[in-house]
Amino acid sequence: MRLCAPALRLLATLSLLSLGCSWSRFSDDTSNAPVVLLQKPGKISGFGAALATTHDASGAALLVAGSAGSLYNLGTGDSPGFDAIDITYCDPSSEQCSASIPLAGLPSALGPGTSVHSPRCFIGGAGSLGGKNGFIVRCSDAVEFVLPMPSSPAQQLTFDLSVQQADDTSSVADGSADPSVLATGSTSRSVRDAWFYPPGLASFGSLTMPSDLAQALGTDASYGTTLAVLVVGGARIYAVGAPTSGDVLLWRSDGGTASAFLGCLGGVAGFGRALASGKVNRDADDDLVLSDADNVHVLDGRVLSTLPETSASVCSFSALPAGALLGSFSCGSSKSLSDCAASSFGASLAVGDLDGDGDGEVIVGAPGMTVRGKHNAGALLVFDVERPSDTLFADAKFLSSAEEGDGLGTALCAPHLADRDVIAAAGPSSGKVALFYCSSLLAPGKGGERCP
Amino acid sequence: MSSVRLRFFVERGGLLVLAFALLSLVCLHLASAGTSDGKRLEEIRSQMEKGQGFYVAGNYPAAADVFESGYKTYPYSAFLFNAGVCYQKLGDAEHALARFNEYLKVDPNAPDADKVKQRVGTLEAALAAQKAAAVPPVVDAGAAAAADAGVAPTPPTPILVPTADDQNAMKSLVVIETEPDGAPLTLYAPLDASAPPFRGGSPNPGWKAIVSTRSPANLTLDVGKYHVVIDKYRDFNPSETDIDVSPGHVHQLKADLSQGQFMAFLRVSANVTGAYVWLDDKLKQTPIWGTTPHGELVSSGQHSVLIEAPGFEPLLAPVTLSHGEQKEWQVTLSRVGYGVLRLDSNAPEFKVRVDDQPKGVWRSGEPPLDVRADAGKHRLTVSAAGRKTFDAEIDVPRGQVLPTHVKLMPKFGRGPAWTQAVLGAVVLGAAIVVGNESNRLHDQLQADRSAGVLEQTDSRATRGKWFAVGADIGFVAAGALGGLATYNFIRDPLPESTISTDKLLEFDDPMKARPTAQLPPGAACTERVAGSGPAREPGWPFGGRF
């Protein structure tokens, strides 16, 4: 026993050390993990139906659409707030509001009757605020105001609110510091109206199309469900998709509420299924990223801006100038990813400068992707699109704990941190919203602790 | 024992002879009388030998006194004659004549009466001449020669009648007794030294009967060889023997008339008390002659003596005995070259191996197992089910039995050790599996982290933690169980099996074994009873000998 006691103490000490090592090495793995799952508020349903982000000097914010919008403060670094700081965006239980999908994030907004811009605002939905109907803008300083709508969607909104039914609205903003907002809303007609708010949001301007085209899209309820706003020089190019028809309509506004119809791209099944804008190439202008049933295309925004105003009602690519197409790519598989055919590749799109090199990478959602044998777990494929030949994805993101039916990639956005963008992806089926902080495109050491 | 025995003692002097005489008397149921006669005879002999001693030393007056005294106490004529010889040596012719005449008077039929008469006549003539010549007394021849040589006259010197041998001038007393008394006997003397040995039933021309009488007879005889013949007496057989009479001694001859022959006395003693002795029976077909030490009258001649004792090599040797010889034969028996281990144990059953050779099985209730082995060191292995095997060197005694008690200790149960070992192996296996799974998960997490897809809440991390912890605990538990099992495999709180030995025993003596059943009349000793095992040579275990 005289020898046993020290031996037992040594054994116990070694055991505890071993236990500690075993425990800590897994903690080391998951502490500062490259993927952060945001904490879903308990009472929110449909969490992750849409995502919107904006940022200012204080950091990025992320609005996650659900039965009510949940706001997360992502900060400027890689230490986001896991828990929502506000879960009452367009909360039908507390206000008359119907969530917009997609959502628009605004770095700041100037409410009516104020002279001070409120930071980090989101258009959470359309509803009634203070007796006024329209898009409800809420900022992080709790300032809320309403953006008025054209009369037809406004009437529909009023009706929907009165009968307490969802009102179909969509909104998207460009990524500039003083963004313009592109919005659509249902009307009594079968086709939505599309309009835009020029920077400052003080008013809105209509986006009209040739009557023949309007007639052709008159039965396409998908019109206006996908939107993108490109900042090209001092102008804005508004892209409105009609995925069912496979068309994308383009307008340009050089300021104010006036706009010019630039034409209709399309004729391909599912074209315009998702739209996104961002700086893909190295020029200072946004580029348009759009997907069809199988592929994703990147159109040079600067080239698009050269399109003349037209009244042509034919939707095709024939009007595209040479060099407009920066690249096209399709789904790809890997050891962990499979089943491209059912992947819904291109269901969502985003452009983000993931590697902080100044140009953006195209992030493509594939919510039907099979991840490590988990069907419909969903994944994100990242395309660098530095050259037209870059048709293969440069990176793939998915949840390490992917589960069947997660549907990750149904919604996407690219929150901006101090020196780069990260990916925010949602899988509303499972209510998962994840932030992907790292990319294989990142230079070593640039990703912080989360990206070894 | 219906035959009549003849016993014969020859007294040559010494206590042993007397002891044999006493022994013979006891055999004749005359203990009290024999003892008395023995004492008397001893005293006579003592007197006789005392006088003889003085005589030989030249102390004739002392010798004469002793003989005179002896005669007064024990009126045997030999004393008278011897005293006369002493006086004659002293030159006291008168006293010498007086004693010789007295001798002839008390023993007129003495065999040497004529010789004594001649001696008397010579002395008387010498005495008369002395008186007549008034000269110094007669001296012996030596003294006369000295005178003739012109030597100065010396004081009167006693006249000494020359004899063949002064040392042999002493007469001895010969006592011849028989049982029963009254047997006629004749004493023969050789006519001269060249007479052939006396042969019974022959004419024996060189011999002359000098005395015929009946026993008991007390004879005063000169030194010399004689032959005694006891004639047939009633229904007893005749008997005879030689007798060699030495000077100045008392000889006793005692004949137990039986088979008509003179006996010798053989006493066999050995370094082993109680050894069995067979006389003239190599095949041991007759009862034993005796056990050592054993002495008995035996017929003279050549005999074979077989001596056996348990644990000793048998000794067979010839012995030659002459008439009346008393032979003390001391033999040394040597131990046989093997011994016996007499094994028993506290175990209900055990097996014995000696030098890896099986030697038998012992079961509780049976007598101890005797294992024979050559004397010396051997490896003894005793094993029993469920008990620790005893295995050690043991020294087998030579020709003796070593009672050996084997204390076989139970084997310490290894059940807990096996349980711990198996449990430890299972736990170790589980720990390895779980540890591998933990490592696999860790590798996955690392890969996912490298790929930038790892969540901070990845459930695999939790699983991996617990697997790792489980593996660590498993390894520790397996190690502990392994250590415990090893300890319990090694640990043995029970002492080793031991043996203890008792004092060495002699081999069993089959002669003393009591029969457990009566054999039916006529049944051979080697008859086997079913199931009783092979027959043994009667009485002799281990191959027919001790």
What contacts 24+ positions apart, CB below 8 Å, involve B290-295?
A: B292/B268, B293/B267, B293/B268, B293/B269, B294/B267, B294/B268, B294/B269, B295/B265, B295/B266, B295/B267, B295/B268, B295/B328
What pLDDT band is residue B538 in, cutting at 50, 70 and 90? very low
Which strand (E) or helix (H) includes residue B444? Answer: helix B415-451
Confidence of residue B6 (pLDDT cuts 50, 70, 90): very low
Q: What is the pLDDT of residues A234-264, one digit of tens each?
A: 899 999 999 999 999 999 999 889 999 999 9
Residue A69: how many other CB atoms lie within 10 Å:
30
pLDDT digits (tens, 9 = 90+) for B352-384: 999 999 999 999 899 999 999 999 999 999 999
CB contact under 8 A, A436 and B475: no
Burial grade of A342 (CB within 10 A; 0-12, 13-18, 19 or more): middle
> Per the CB < 8 Å rule, is A30 touching B480?
no
pLDDT at B529 over 60: no
Q: Distance between alpha carbon B58 and the CA centroid of its chain, in Å?
A: 44
Name which of A22, A395, A399 is nearest B468 (Cβ-Cβ). Answer: A22
pLDDT digits (tens, 9 = 90+) for B184-242: 999 898 988 888 888 877 888 889 888 888 888 888 888 888 898 888 887 777 788 88
CA B417 from centroid of its chain's CA atoms: 63
| Residues from chain B contacting residue A15 (CB–CB below 8 Å) | 472-473, 476
Residue B14 pLDDT > 70: no
- B436 near A CB under 8 A: no
Task: Identify the H or E element spanning B466.
Answer: helix B459-490
Determine the pLDDT at residue B501.
Answer: 93
A30 and B445 within 8 Å at the Cβ level: the answer is: yes
When CB atoms are compared, the residue of A11, A19, A439 closest to B452 is A439
| Per-residue exposure over A352-365, b if at least 16 CB sit within 10 Å of its own CB, e if not | bbbbbbebbbbbbb
B336-347 burial, b at 16+ Cβ within 10 Å, e below that, comes to bebbbbbbbbeb
Judge contact between B257 and B180, C-beta under 8 A: yes
Mean pLDDT of B425-434: 93
Nearest CA in chain A to B455: A35
Query: pLDDT at residue A188 above 50?
Result: yes
Task: Sort out which chain A residues have CB atoms less than 8 A from B475's CB and list them.
Answer: 18
User: Is the Cβ–Cβ distance between A336 and A343 less than 8 Å?
Assistant: no
Specify whether the CB–CB gap between A274 and A349 falls below 8 A.
Answer: yes
Give the C-alpha separation, A451 to A446, whole Å: 8
What is the length of chain B?
546
Residue B425: which of B365, B494, B377, B481 has the closest Cα? B481
Locate all alpha helices (DSSP H) within A266-376, ordered by sequence: 301-304
pLDDT for residue B530 is more than 80: no
- Asked if the Cβ–Cβ distance from B445 to A398 is below 8 Å, we say no
pLDDT band at B476 (very low <50, low <70, confident <90, very high): confident
Pair type for strands A181-185 and B290-291? unpaired
Query: Do residue A26 and residue B479 have CB atoms under 8 angstroms apart?
Result: no
Average pLDDT, chain A: 90
Strands B172-179 and A274-278: unpaired
Contacts of A271 (CB under 8 A, 6+ apart): A241, A243, A246, A247, A248, A265, A290, A291, A292, A293
The pLDDT tens digits of the residues spanning A131-176 come to 889 999 999 888 999 999 999 999 999 998 888 888 889 999 998 9
For the stretch A34-69, pLDDT in tens is 999 999 998 888 999 999 999 988 899 999 999 899
Q: Tell me the CA end-to-end span of chain A in Å, nearest whole number.
A: 49
Whole-angstrom distance, CA of residue A236 vs CA of residue A167: 27
Position B491 scores a pLDDT of: 86
Dihedral of CA atoms A396, A399, A404, A409 in degrees, nearest 10, equals -60
pLDDT category of residue B262 using cuts at 50, 70 and 90: low
Which letter does DSSP use for residue A449 in this model?
G
* Residues of B whose CB is below 8 A from A352: none
pTM confidence score = 0.61
Question: Is B366 touching A (CB cutoff 8 A)?
Answer: no
Instruction: Say if residues A378 and A368 touch (Cβ distance below 8 Å).
Output: yes
d(CA A444, CA A422): 16
CB contact under 8 A, B458 and A33: yes
Output the pLDDT for position B258: 59
> Is B481 within 8 Å of chain A by CB?
no
- Interchain CB distance below 8 Å, A401 and B472: no
pLDDT value at B98 more than 50: yes
Closest CA to A167 of A145, A188, A186: A186
- ipTM for the predicted complex comes to 0.89
The single residue listed with the structure tokens 């000269």 is: B135
B426 min Cα distance to partner chain A (Å)? 19
Query: B420 pLDDT exceeds 60?
Result: yes
State the average pLDDT over residues A264-272: 88
Q: Is B471 on the interface with A (CB under 8 A)?
A: yes
Task: Tell me the average pLDDT across B466-483.
Answer: 88
Cβ neighbours of B445 in A, within 8 Å: 26, 29-30, 400
Nearest CA in chain A to B449: A34
Q: Judge: A436–B455 Cβ closer than 8 Å, yes or no.
A: no
Model pLDDT, residue A434: 94
Cβ neighbours of B480 in A, within 8 Å: 11
Q: Give all strands (DSSP E) within B408-526, no chain letters.
A: 498-501, 505-506
Contact A401 B442 (CB under 8 A): no
The per-residue pLDDT of chain B, averaged, comes to: 79
Contact (Cβ atoms closer than 8 angstroms) between residue A381 and residue A412: no
* Ordered alpha helix ranges (H), A210-321: 211-216, 301-304
Q: Which two tokens stand for residue A411?
A: 């919604």
- Which residues of A fall within a CB distance of 8 Å from B449? 29, 33-34, 452
Distance CA B401, CA B509 (A): 12
Amino acid at A11: L
Give the separation between CA B448 and CA A450, rounded to whole angstroms: 12
The two three-digit tokens of residue A48, written as one number: 């992750």
At residue B167, the pLDDT reads: 63
Largest CA distance in chain B: 176
**Sequence-ordered list of residues with C-beta below 8 angstroms from that of B349, at least 6 positions apart, any chain:** B361, B362, B363, B364, B384, B385
Query: Greater confidence, B532 or A142?
Result: A142
Using CA atoms, how far residue A370 sits from A332, A345, A398, B147, B366, in Å, is 12, 11, 10, 170, 84
Q: Inform me whether the pLDDT recorded for B460 exceeds 70.
A: yes
Higher pLDDT, A84 or B516: A84
**A29 interaction partners in chain B (CB closer than 8 Å):** 442, 445-446, 449, 454, 461, 464
Altogether, the residues listed in chain A come to a count of 452
Residue B452: strand, helix, or coil = coil
The answer to whether A105 and A95 have CB atoms below 8 angstroms apart is no
Task: Name the more confident of A8 and B443.
Answer: B443
Nearest to A400 among B453, B462, B479 (CB): B453
* A434: nearest CA partner in chain B: B455
Neighbouring CB atoms inside 10 A of A225's CB total 22
B441 vs A contacts (CB less than 8 Å)? 26
Chain A partners of B465 at a C-beta cutoff of 8 Å?
A: 22-23, 26-27
Pairing of β A361-366 and β A370-371: unpaired
Which spans in A359-443 are helix H? none
Distance (Å, whole) CA B141 – CA B126: 12
Query: Which of the two residues, A226 and B142, has the higher pLDDT score?
Result: A226
Rounded distance between C-alpha atoms, residue A287 and residue A306, angstroms: 13
Q: Which residue of B has its CA nearest to A451?
A: B452
Confidence bin at A346 (pLDDT 50/70/90): very high
| Residue B437 sits at the chain A interface (C-beta within 8 Å) | no
pLDDT (tens digit per residue) in B313-365: 999 999 998 877 888 899 999 999 999 999 999 999 999 999 999 999 999 89
Residues from chain B contacting residue A396 (CB–CB below 8 Å): 451, 453
Chain A positions touching chain B (beta carbons under 8 Å):
11, 15, 18-19, 22-23, 25-27, 29-37, 395-401, 434, 436-440, 451-452
Tell how far CA B30 is from the center of its chain.
29
Give the rounded percent of residues in chain B with a pLDDT score beyond 70.
79
Per-residue pLDDT, B21: 37
Q: In degrees to the nearest 10, what's the CA dihedral of A114, A116, A121, A125?
A: 10
B479 contacts in A (CB within 8 Å)? 11
Indicate whether B1 pLDDT > 60.
no
- Helices assigned H by DSSP within B107-173: 113-133, 141-148
DSSP for B245-272, written as a single string: EPTT-EEEEEEE-SSSS-EEEEEEEESS
User: What's the order of all strands across the beta sheet hosting B217-221?
Assistant: B8-10, B250-256, B172-179, B217-221
- Contact between A29 and B452 using a beta-carbon 8 Å cutoff: no
- Rounded distance between C-alpha atoms, residue A205 and residue A195, angstroms: 6
Residue of B nearest to A402 (CA): B458
Tokens standing for B232? 């047939």
Chain A to chain B Cβ contacts (< 8 Å)? 100
DSSP-derived secondary structure letter, A67: S
Q: Residue B487 is encoded by which pair of tokens?
A: 């300890």
First to last CA, chain B: 31
- pLDDT of A185 > 60? The answer is yes
Contacts of B472 in chain A (CB under 8 A): 15, 18-19, 22
**Angle (CA) B105 B109 B111, round 5°:** 120
Q: If pLDDT is split at 50, 70 and 90, which confidence band does B152 have?
A: very low
Q: Given a cut of 80, is residue A418 above it in pLDDT?
A: yes
CA nearest to A227, candidates A187, A171, A301, A177: A171
Quick check: B442 contacting A, CB < 8 Å? yes
